[in-house]
Structure 1
Amino acid sequence: SQLFVSRSSANQELFLGGLKEGELPTKLVDLVVKADVQGSAEALSSSLAALEAADDKLAVRTRVLRSGAGSITNEDVMLASVSNAIIYAFGISISAQTRDEAAKSNVEIRSFEIVYDAIDDVKAEMAALIRPPPSKQLGSVCGTLDIKQLFKIGAVGKVAGCKVLDGFVRVGNNIRILRGNLVVYEGKLQSLRSVKEAVDQVDAPNDCGISFNDFQGMEVEDRVEAYLPNDENAVFESYGAEKGQD
């Protein structure tokens, strides 16, 4: 049987049931498409329906619930409301009354005049589900890790044994931990270990242990992103430029 779990905080659903071995859970981005003429509605709907995105843990695809020519109707708004869909309006004007009705129903209407702009917007929506955009305060990403195991070390507490997939991780990095597409922690890395020894930095593709003073909720298979704080990143880039001139 197929099981859909509604995500109340977003306009997506997570498809969990009927997975074959090796298949990824799939999130759906539901859309209602309205255009100035039927041909445009069909062309845009076809392009949007073909979009797919995935990483190693989650796939995202679109589902066009309705498409057609003409103005956005109350029925379109109602459908989008009950299904948490986004309405894409192409080449049509939207009345103030329609915008008011959509706002009351918590329905988002996005207007476009160029097909590729609409397609790029949906791609960005899908990408944000796979890897939510970080807050600007985190800085610039410098490394990505996967948590492979959990263990405890005396007064340190819970330690996450990680594989550094790319880049590097350093004590003092801003850290974001993702569980699927859910951000479960943002903070600073307090402790970094390599083969039980405290170190300042570990580079890919090595293993390491990380821990936090204010967070013990790590789980195996969480994705960890390490960030250089903005001020440190400026120094890091300057240093790299100077080395390149040597």
Structure 2
Amino acid sequence: MLFHLGEMVTATQSVSDEVLELLGTEMNYTVQVVSPEEEDRELLDSFKISYGEDSGDEDDLQARPPVVTVMGHVDHGKTRLLDTIRKTTVHEGEAGGITQHIGAYQVATALEGRERLITFIDTPGHEAFTAMRARGAQATDIAVIVVAADDGVMPQTVEAINHAQAAGVPVVVAINKIDKEGANPQKIRQQLTEYGLVAEEYGGDTMFVDISAKQGTNIDGLLEAILLTADAALDLRANPDMEAQGVAIEAHLDRGRGPVATVLVQRGTLRVGDSIVAGDAYGRVRRMVDEFNEDITEATPSRPVQVIGFTSVPGAGDTFLVVEEDRTARQIAERRAARNRAAQNAQKRKRISLEDLDAALKETSQLNLIIKGDNSGTVEALEDALTKIDVGDEVELRVIHRGVGGITEGDINLAIADNIIVIGFNVRAEGKATELANREGIDVRYYSVIYQAIDEIEAALKGMLKPIYEEVELGRAEVRDMFKSSKVGTIAGCMVLSGEIRRNSKARLIRDSVVVQEGLPISSLRRFKDDAVEVREGFECGLTLGSYNDLRVGDIIETYEMREKPRA
């Protein structure tokens, strides 16, 4: 039936939603396409698990700390601000000084004589991490937008504001670097009014705080502004007595501890020994570690912890929940994994209709990649950035495999089978894998800064494009006389009118402004009795056009060459 509808597919191929609906109409069925979220909810309902709401009565709800995401432009001092808040130095260890993972930390502060906790999520600043930054905004209660007082509102500042507004979270603006020359906090207040953030002193409802993360100026004022905004705008309560639910902020593969996920508990209490499922990963909580690397036995709402005990690495941004037994966790994870596999296969397959079958059969160059990284969020962000590289339809980029952890022999074997380039982001090949890669000549590239990877892959894709040639005119000559030769045929006696005539270049013959013959070679070229390589404008010469003899006085011979045109 699809074949008659103009769709060329096999019996097992995935097709788009529109084609499914069309097929249903043809076969008198009503096709309802549900989103992965709805499918997931249905899956959880079948296990009698409710996700996304607090169980119990109003009396069971207790106040929880606000979850704060720090966002803003590259180099505006987000990580320095968090360092100052928790008295550590993360940014010095970051490649290129750019935060490339999401970290979560909890700090204590005092408000009106009472100690209060605040959870901070640090999101990366570079534009390639938009997906991770967007997730940060979704897991959060309040967004702190950091703007440098000497630099002003930048593209990623606007992007961060958009993420926060799309997530519907209140915003607190921290104007950083007020100790630097050229700092103008008032100008930034005015700039941000264009984006709907109006300072309280201008009659708006957004709190602006002037700080210096380097000098530690007014940090307490910022923490107070966060708590005041939370109290005024939000009702932050959760039930700590239910099964824990929340979100995996980051995950990586640790050589000694196996898969480690940083999770943020949103409701309920997570305890050591709980059966847990996050995305298509599952396991049992064997150990929990806080931000100071100290073991804890339980995590209450808004608490970020590292969980050890997953059987595989969950994805950054995956929701997690605690279930009654390991078997249930495994079943949910396996069903989700099967659904993700089907979705990926559908994405990889290109739909081919009868009309464009001919074009599809023509060979398109393809660059195949395997991406391995130290964190699932980083791998996903890098894949997202690479697949967005646009060099036209002639070259296609495909990510054959992605994963978290070092480059293994299995990755190299896959690369040998399919002629693939392996990318390691903040990870290295293990011993035998290095030997195998060297022996088989597999290209393994290591990166620690994301835009180096993007630039090199873009250069590789452009190198795979077929060269574009353009015609460059060399010169024109007019036939003034003709001579017959038994050896070489007709010799044209010419005057070079412009440019130069070169031996072995291509020529076209023009008669009465009409092209008579194309692609003729200038096989011999002479000045008087001497052979010449080229003859310039204003000089006379004799030449032959291969075996072509139909020349007349007054004909114009135009010479040209094809030069490779550099791609933009």
Instruction: State the TM-score, normalized to the length of structure 2.
Output: 0.23
- Higher Cα radius of gyration: 2
Higher RCO structure (Cα 8 Å, ≥6 apart): 1
Instruction: State the TM-score, normalized to the length of structure 1.
Output: 0.49
